[in-house]
Amino acid sequence: MKNKTHLNKISFILLLTGLMLMLFTNIACAREKTGIKELPLLVKSVKLTTCIVKEPQDFDKRKSYPLLIGLHGNGGNAASFAEVWNEFSNPGFLFAVPQGPYVYSHAHGNNRGMYSWYWEKVKKEIWEIADPISEEFLLNVVDAATQKYKISKIYILGFSQGTSLAYAVGIKNFKRIDGIICVGGRFPNESFKGKQIAAGSSLPMLLAAGNHDPHMSLKRLKRFKDYFQGFGYDVTDFVYEGGHQITRELLKKVQEWMKKK
């Protein structure tokens, strides 16, 4: 009799466990179907990281130099983007190249070493936390460079995804940044609040795209130019031969523009 009672208890426990598993599975499936997912625990990380800096030939630490900060595109990295330095013609400025803080979501196997400036998950609540951190990181690059070198002016060159960060940091910090160069990338309108765009209208801009760039049509480039000129910005647009890439023709224009601004 005791054995039978014991078996009944075990059967009841197993049945209850099975029902609970079915319930949790159904809840999980329902969440998946409706797109409801729990956000991960997000923690703001603080760590030291390196930034590549290229110095001009015959660099003299006693002299002041313009600083150009280069921002790679989505899936790029600092080492490869720093090669742009070799395509400038006798650059008389410092070229600082930081690396995006997030691993590119499609990087795997031999594609490691690919990075992004932004959290790539499509969740607005995460973007609102992560985007300002990327902006803060870029300003930390400015601070570190100005502590080590004598800097006369500060420019930001953003390529592709890096363009979004160049816009965001340049416009919001127009009193610190002397100009931005945005190449083949979008304007992150969602990164701005209130009258921030209008307030930064003293910031000079060079907006550029290749005439065969599949990501930036010439019509879209003109629309960006007209948009910012509507706020009173000093905007120079430039179209060069090529696709979604950095070319010598473009870099020649960048150097000429920097000297004038």
Task: Determine whether 220 is exposed, middle or buried from the number of CB atoms within 10 Å of its CB (0-12, 13-18, 19+).
Answer: middle
pLDDT digits (tens, 9 = 90+) for 13-26: 434 444 344 433 44
Same domain, 31 and 92: no
**Is pTM beyond 0.75 here?**
yes
Q: Tell me, yes or no, whether 41 lies in a domain.
A: no
Same domain, 133 and 236: yes
The two beta strands, 151-159 and 65-71, are parallel
Same domain, 147 and 211: yes
Q: Tell me, yes or no, whether 44 lies in a domain.
A: no
Same domain, 181 and 129: yes
Q: Do 211 and 242 contact (CB within 8 A), yes or no?
A: yes
Same domain, 82 and 5: no
Q: Tell me, yes or no, whether 45 lies in a domain.
A: no
Structure tokens at 96: 């600082």
Same domain, 147 and 194: yes
pLDDT level of residue 10 (50, 70, 90 thresholds):
very low
DSSP class of residue 114 equals -
pLDDT digits (tens, 9 = 90+) for 121-162: 667 778 788 899 999 999 999 999 999 999 999 999 999 999
For residue 27, what are the domain limits?
A: 1-35
Same domain, 207 and 132: yes
Q: Tell me, yes or no, whether 42 lies in a domain.
A: no
Show the DSSP H helices in 149-237 as ranges: 161-172, 196-199, 218-229
Q: Please enumerate in sequence order all residues whose Cβ is within 8 A of that of 244, keeping only pairs 6 or more positions apart, or say none.
A: 160, 184, 210, 213, 214, 215, 216
Q: Tell me, yes or no, whether 99 lies in a domain.
A: yes
Same domain, 83 and 203: yes
Query: What was the pLDDT predicted at 123?
Result: 72
3 state SS of 247: coil
Structure tokens at 242: 């090529």
Same domain, 146 and 185: yes
What CA dihedral angle connects 23, 28, 33 and 37, to 10 degrees?
150
Provide the number of structural domains found in the chain. 2
Same domain, 234 and 159: yes
Same domain, 115 and 1: no
Q: Tell me, yes or no, whether 57 lies in a domain.
A: yes
Q: Tell me, yes or no, whether 43 lies in a domain.
A: no
Identity at 137, one-letter amino acid code: F
Q: Please enumerate in sequence order all residues whose Cβ is within 8 A of that of 65, keeping only pairs 6 or more positions apart, or say none.
A: 56, 59, 92, 93, 94, 149, 150, 151, 152
Closest listed residue to residue 99, CA positions, set 77, 83, 132: 77
Same domain, 117 and 186: yes
Quick one: average pLDDT of 246-255? 98
Residue 248: give its domain's CATH number: 3.40.50.1820
